[in-house]
Amino acid sequence: MEIIVYCWAMYYNKHQMDNFILFKQEYKDYLYVTEADIMGCLNEKATLCQRPTGMYSFSYEKVQAWNTAHRQKSKASEIPKEEADDYWYEVALKNTFKPIDQR
């Protein structure tokens, strides 16, 4: 689920719009979960709108609960907070997000 959140942030940063249909088309190679799973991890505002709304559309708690329910190891929780903050401000917001490693 964390890759979905990251892909959404990259999409939103690139296009500056909430278009879930175009997002799904552009990132279809990285969407390994169901749409219901994605919608189940949205924050309160996005849930009310029934689609991702803005860059910060996902609930940390819901993503972590999804990880636990699906025995998915969290990559985000392994990153020290200071390193994540530095990346967010120095790289992601000032420039662009790192490309996804295509392994």
Give how many domains the chain has, as a whole number.
1
Which value, in Å, is the radius of gyration of the alpha carbons in the chain? 13
**Has residue 18 been placed in a domain?**
yes
Query: What digits encode the pLDDT tens for the residues 58-86?
Result: 999 999 999 999 999 887 778 777 776 67
Side chain identity at residue 39, one-letter code? M
| Contacting residues for 19 by C-beta, under 8 A, at least 6 apart | none
In this predicted model, which residue has the larger pLDDT, 84 or 48?
48
Which domain range does residue 47 map to?
A: 2-74
**Has residue 97 been placed in a domain?**
no
Query: In this prediction, what percent of the chain has a pLDDT beyond 70?
Result: 81
Question: Residue 19: is its pLDDT beyond 60?
Answer: yes
Instruction: Tell me if residue 10 falls in helix, strand or coil.
Output: helix
**Has residue 102 been placed in a domain?**
no
**Has residue 17 been placed in a domain?**
yes
**Has residue 26 been placed in a domain?**
yes
**Has residue 8 been placed in a domain?**
yes
**Has residue 67 been placed in a domain?**
yes
- Kindly report the pTM of this predicted structure: 0.77
* CA atoms of 103 and 93, how far apart (whole Å): 25
pLDDT at residue 78 in the model: 80
**Has residue 52 been placed in a domain?**
yes
